[in-house]
Chains A and B, each alone.
With several copies, the nearest count.
Chain A
Amino acid sequence: MPGNNVVERVRSLVVAFLDTDLVRLRIERDGGHVELRRARSRSATPELAEPQAPDAPPENVDAIKSDLVGIFRFSRPLPQTGDMVDSDRELAYVEALGIRNPVRSIGSGRLVSVCCDDGQPVEYGQTLFEIQRV
């Protein structure tokens, strides 16, 4: 994919994105990805802003996904919802073919969900943790 082409594609993607109501768009393809996030809308009047509904997804949350198939195991200390994590904290590992493959927080933030149980089989791309970036 030549460089110019990428710029062109992203440009048209941005145009299309701004035309929607989306606040975040992530496209994954062939191992790479593009993510667009909308800045807080300048036109939104504070009077109209409502408190966030309890079941609305929190913003700035990254899913930490498994990049292989194996058995999920927590690392120590046991990560728990609400924990603040460092940029390279090992939260867990996925054991595959006898090898422990660490799962790291990839950047710091607050752990908002733990999505798997200890000993659970996980597949490629399965969400293991969700971290709110701060």
Chain B
Amino acid sequence: MFKKVLIANRGEIALRINRACRELGVKTVAIFSEPDRESLHVRHANEAFCVGPGPVARSYLSIPNIISTALITNCDAVHPGYGFLAENARFAQICADHGLTFIGPTPEVIGTMGDKATAKRVMREAKVETTPGTDILESVDKARRAAKDLGYPVLLKATAGGGGKGMRVVTGPDELERAFAGAQNEAESSFKDGRLYMEKLIVSPRHIEVQVLGDNFGNVVILGDRDCSVQKPSHQKLIEEAPAAHLSEKIRNSLYAMALRAAQAVHYTNAGTLEFLVSGDHAYFMEMNTRIQVEHPVTEMVYNIDLVKEQIRIAAGEALGYTQSDLRPRGHAIECRINAEDARNNFAPAAGTLTNVVFPGGPGIRVDTHIYSGGTVPPFYDSMLAKIVAFGETREAAIARMERALRETVIEGVNTTIQQCLEVLATDAFTSGHYAIDFLPGLLRQADAA
């Protein structure tokens, strides 16, 4: 086991990693930016070093200062958490170059999965279903034939694209020519590369993801699924649950089989998540996150496994202590993300001083948070304040528990998503478990119209 781990993150996930380390008897080094000096993750670590000012580029993304901190404190490993440097293959490689174990998969796997085109190709080779699509389309005629083959609606995408630039939804042949020209022009002006390809548009899909864990000895286990379809219009997740409701055994088995093939194909090590779009009887691979996810606690609760401890054990060279058949999920868990955001104003992030903070407790409630009464929310970072997780023997019990927990929660000083989460929990769509990724945007439009 490691002697000392540098936690290259802030906020609740830095605390989460600190907890796992302390419980394993591993010492910790926190890094922090100047406005985070009074943060709990700083207070709870064995040592803490300021690595830069507020802006992330000069602190939590400052690879030289982070590596230097790890070296002068004699750390033997680095846990990147999520966000920041967690999926930066170069950072993973630099850690290795300095004799530090990066707690995550290899730089090669991070690189492969980080490049969406390469990831899709690798997945197809591993017989994982990906969204049907084409190669580069040289002309509108070729696009027309491709769309007919795929079936409308389709999505035109710029091969150099990103951030929605050079992307067009095409619902029928009438729109194709105009959409093609528009996308081409936009791609040309944005990326100086007007080449387009086409994908089938999956209408009203569910976002279902599968948790995998692989050790350095070729053992891979699947730790079930999570439904993360309650997403803001920006596609950021707001509420997640495990397991996904109303998922047919056929789809579930197919998802698990694909995830296992994918992990084995790339010799995946450590924790990772395969994200799928599920529509009807089809599941399409979207991307793989080569890190711990924000929503990992729901899986921990139904599997009674500490995923972050598992990450550390695996990175330290330990073999998984169980096989797939030992793993039995139990009950149901739901997570609500409590963000410093104004849900009535397009989830605009808020910063400020927290005048009063009271979290819920009692049976089946887990709270992961870095905030406290009198603390501040700096303007530089992710707006997530807390994750409230509720466990119940049944999905219904978990929802009832989450509702009472949210009603117990007090956060004064900034706007939060508590009320928005309560509104979601009260809908028929959510209580019945029949919802897809267009659910929350639709609910918000209704609220705006009312």
Q: Is A126 interfacial (CB-CB < 8 Å)?
A: yes
Among A69, A97, A123, A126: residue with most chain B CB under 10 A: A69
**A29 CB → nearest B CB, Å:** 8
Contact B54 A69 (CB under 8 A): no
In Å, the complex CA distance between A124 and B64 comes to 12
Q: Is A103 interfacial (CB-CB < 8 Å)?
A: no
Q: Which chain A residues numbered 94 to 134 have a C-beta less than 8 Å away from chain B?
A: 96-97, 121, 123-126
Listed stretches B66-74, B196-204, B230-238; interface member: B66-74
Contact A124 B52 (CB under 8 A): yes
In Å, the complex CA distance between A68 and B55 comes to 15
Contact B65 A125 (CB under 8 A): no
**For residue A121, which residue of chain B has the nearest CB?**
B72
Contact B55 A30 (CB under 8 A): yes
Contacts of B424 in A (CB 8 A): none
In Å, the complex CA distance between A34 and B67 comes to 31
With A69-B69, A70-B72, A125-B34 already in contact, the answer to whether A96 and B51 are too (CB < 8 A) is no
Contact A97 B53 (CB under 8 A): no
With A96-B64, A124-B65, A125-B34 already in contact, the answer to whether A69 and B49 are too (CB < 8 A) is yes
Contacts of A71 in B (CB 8 A): 72
Contacts of A124 in B (CB 8 A): 34, 49-53, 59, 65
Contacts of A96 in B (CB 8 A): 64-65, 68
Residue in A28, A31, A97, A126 whose beta carbon sits within 8 Å of that of B71 in the complex = A97
Contact A30 B54 (CB under 8 A): yes
Chain B 67-89 interface mask (CB, 8 Å, partner A; 1/0):
11101110000000000000000
Binding site for B on A (CB under 8 A): 28, 30-31, 68-71, 96-97, 121, 123-126
Binding site for A on B (CB under 8 A): 34, 49-55, 58-59, 64-69, 71-73, 98
The 9 nearest A-B residue pairs measured at CB: A96-B68, A123-B50, A123-B49, A121-B72, A69-B65, A69-B68, A124-B50, A69-B69, A124-B52
